[in-house]
Amino acid sequence: MAATHSLSSAALSSSSSSFFSHSSFNAKNPKVSFPGTRFRVKCVATSQDSMTAYKTSVPRNANMAKLQAGYLFPEIARRRNAHLQKYPDAKVISLGIGDTTEPIPEVITSAMAKRSHALSTLEGYSGYGAEQGEKPVRALIGKTFYSGLGIEEDDIFVSDGAKCDITRLQLVFGSNVSMAVQDPSYPAYVDSSVILGQTGQYEKDAEKYSNIEYMRCTPENGFFPDLTKIPRTDIIFFCSPNNPTGSSATREQLTQLVQFAKKNGSIIVYDSAYAMYISDDNPRSIFEIPGAKEVAIETSSFSKYAGFTGVRLGWTVVPKELMFSDGFPVAKDFNRIVCTCFNGASNIAQAGGLACLSPEGLEAMRGVIGFYKENTSIIMDTFNSLGFNVYGGKNAPYVWVRFPGRSSWDVFAEILEKTHVVTTPGSGFGPGGEGFIRVSAFGHRENVLEACRRFRQLYK
């Protein structure tokens, strides 16, 4: 969703340098605030925008105009660049946007290279593939992640990533649905809902869009909303393990969620993009919960398992048991959208997906995930030893650190200015993230160790 506490780059660069000199403040002191201003995230018009005199006669999409800010992660990248301009010699470490850093295992890239080379031969060339994905890929995703759960190969749609599927699902739902979302949560759910016109205007005081039900997830409620207090909505976006809090829902909690959806006739869109990071016995898929096939869709991705954030490969499961109120299968409408808006995942990426799911590929992916999980432990230990309340981490590559009473954009800026480490301000994920910082465990080991050394220095 839109980041709500904003900070113009001018404000950041003009006010913060001397303020953050090491001797001038105690960084843990909640009373410390930035001189002059509460920061506001804004898409700043470039000089080119303001110089354009000619205007077309096309009205701007009113839903786009409702969006409050630049999408969170580009905004953070922008600030990182502004910081680099200010401190060209600084060794900036990014534990912010959550992009993977470690090389893709060779067993996977060699399969992609082979497929790529084959495209230069008459026998190996292929053009458009099935929009839903290649059959062997669908079958292997089913066997690997949904074995014994009653999910069939044709329930699985291979895609260019979970984020793209979230928007395609929103296209299926259209403008006339209401939606609920964990607060805080990955911004794509709220922003795509706004773009589709499912919401009202942004309410500045509440820092929420009207017609979205924000299900507050805090340490106090174990990061699971009190469903007895949540009004019915058509769609419920639910991400577990959650980005940004790093918490994952238990079997009992997911059972409650499925029963809640069933009672209300709602559809759950379950985002399991981090399921392979779960190390306890919490469910990896919503379809482990009895009855979920009648109320849930699941979207997932190779991005954070195999370093495919650039390669682009994901999937969405739409069980045939899931119906709209008129009895029409949701999968048929999703298929229609996929066929209209998408021409299938890259054949090279799909070769990579097949390799990921081979026995050697699975072992290699577990190796990469294990590496990031070690990073997570290093970050958690650091903040724990400094006396912070630290959440997440165990089942996700994200550490959620509390800074009571402080604006998360202030803390973000403080950490960037004093340590040259990019984190993510919790309020960028919704009002429930205020007072938290998300630290991503995606990083080279030496960078994570160095970042933690700097955190210790700053908050000792």
Ligand X SMILES: Cc1ncc(COP(=O)(O)O)c(C=O)c1O
The answer to the question of residue 440 lying near ligand X (CB under 6 A) is no
Span 97-156, contacts to ligand X by CB under 6 A: 98
Q: Within its chain, how far is the Cα of 178 from the centroid?
A: 21
The answer to the question of residue 248 lying near ligand X (CB under 6 A) is no
Span 204-243, contacts to ligand X by CB under 6 A: 239, 243
CA-to-CA distance for 249 and 52, rounded, in angstroms?
50
In angstroms and rounded to an integer, the radius of gyration of the C-alpha atoms of the chain is: 22
The answer to the question of residue 303 lying near ligand X (CB under 6 A) is yes
Pick from 337, 293, 287: which is nearest to 319 by CA?
Answer: 293
- Beta carbon nearer to ligand X, 241 or 435: 241
The answer to the question of residue 161 lying near ligand X (CB under 6 A) is yes
Between 359-385 and 106-118, two packed helices, what is the crossing angle to 10 degrees? Answer: 130
In the numeric block, which tokens belong to residue 17? 């340098």
Q: Residue from 155, 183, 207, 271 that binds ligand X (CB under 6 A)? A: 271
Q: How many residues would you count in the chain?
A: 460
| Residues 344 and 128 sit within 8 Å (Cβ to Cβ) | yes
- Beta carbon nearer to ligand X, 16 or 246: 246
- Beta carbon nearer to ligand X, 253 or 301: 301
CA-to-CA distance for 84 and 34, rounded, in angstroms?
20
The answer to the question of residue 270 lying near ligand X (CB under 6 A) is no
Span 168-207, contacts to ligand X by CB under 6 A: 186
Report angle CA 159, 163, 165 to the nearest 5 degrees.
45
Span 76-105, contacts to ligand X by CB under 6 A: 98
- Between strands 208-209 and 212-216, the pairing is unpaired
Strand, helix or coil for residue 336:
helix
Span 320-379, contacts to ligand X by CB under 6 A: none
The answer to the question of residue 319 lying near ligand X (CB under 6 A) is no
- Beta carbon nearer to ligand X, 425 or 459: 425
The window from 218-226, 301-309, 334-342, 435-443 that contacts ligand X (CB under 6 A) reads 301-309
The answer to the question of residue 282 lying near ligand X (CB under 6 A) is no
The answer to the question of residue 301 lying near ligand X (CB under 6 A) is yes
| Distance of closest approach, residue 450 Cβ to ligand X, in angstroms | 23
The answer to the question of residue 430 lying near ligand X (CB under 6 A) is no
Buried b (16+ CB within 10 A) or exposed e, 96-131: bbbbbbbebbebbbebbeebbebeeeeeeeeeebbb
CA-to-CA distance for 295 and 314, rounded, in angstroms?
21
Binding residues vs ligand X (CB under 6 A): 98, 161-163, 186, 239, 243, 271, 273, 301, 303, 309, 314
